[in-house]
Structure 1
Amino acid sequence: MRPRQLSRRTVLAGGAAALTACSASGPPPSPSPAPDSPEVVLLKALIAEKERTIALYSALIADGGGKLAPFRDRHQAHLTELRKHVPAVALTAATSAAPSSSPTTRKPSLKRLRDLERKAAASRARQLDAVSPGIAQLIASIGACEAVHAIALPRSL
């Protein structure tokens, strides 16, 4: 038997395949993270909102508004509960990617807090459609608490 001779075209095609295989033999590209679900996007927005609200309360408390501490503490409890429902990876990415916005660019005031609480409570009903029943219940109870805050905040410090 006589060895079969390879055509020039076959040799070149084989070499090209080998080069392609070599260049693709490195580690596989890291998969891009899956996009957040609409529920996670909403939860991350609520977390950021709660952080700003807590900062505003804290600024007023630092200025002598100690009687606002229970209100702030309830927001802290909301924040803790919201964070339980966001995957740690998504939460870490949100924290590192979120621009730090200072809630105290305008002077903190009770009126501003009351308006913030009223607007937050009013927005909760619109947020219930895109979430699971358990998250909807959490958001609804947060909204109820915010509505009570808008009414119960003291008129002066």
Structure 2
Amino acid sequence: MLKLLSAVAFIIVLNLSAKAQTQDSTLKLSPVKTLSDIQYNALTKGNDLYEMDKVASQNNYPSSEKALKFKKEMDLSPTQVASLIKINTELKRKKIEMGNFIVTNETKLDALFRAKKINESDLIYYTNRYGLYQGELRNAILNAALNTYYLLSPGQIAKLNKLK
């Protein structure tokens, strides 16, 4: 019985140790207590944590990033590559901009609640802004997919779908 308990304890310690070592060391700690480190980093680095492109990708509207990744396999022209780079650069800029707005908005909400200075009009204002920022972010993501779709030929889109 003692050997069994020792073995179980050893396995638990190994499991906890492995989880501690696999934590992403590049994550910055979130200064906003209502955002996890993962959420904070995704928002400030322009990563789509919420899969806002899903409606486009599920309906064969490709992302500019994926198209650029497979540009050789898809035989993209230099003009297409330049256009995709432009789409992707603007999308990344917009994702970071909206992410920073969301972080700032969340910081303000937290400060108002913490100071017990929140009122109904402030609450409406900041929660509506949150929705506005998320909507603008999703629009930018879906617009980039739409523009990428128009830029590629049907054959290139079919080839990209096979490469995924």
TM > 0.5: no
More helix by share: 2
Q: TM-score, normalised by structure 2?
A: 0.31
Using CA pairs under 8 Å that are at least 6 residues apart, name the structure with larger relative contact order, 1 or 2: 2
Compute the TM-score of the two structures, normalised by the length of structure 1.
0.32
Bigger Rg, which one: 1
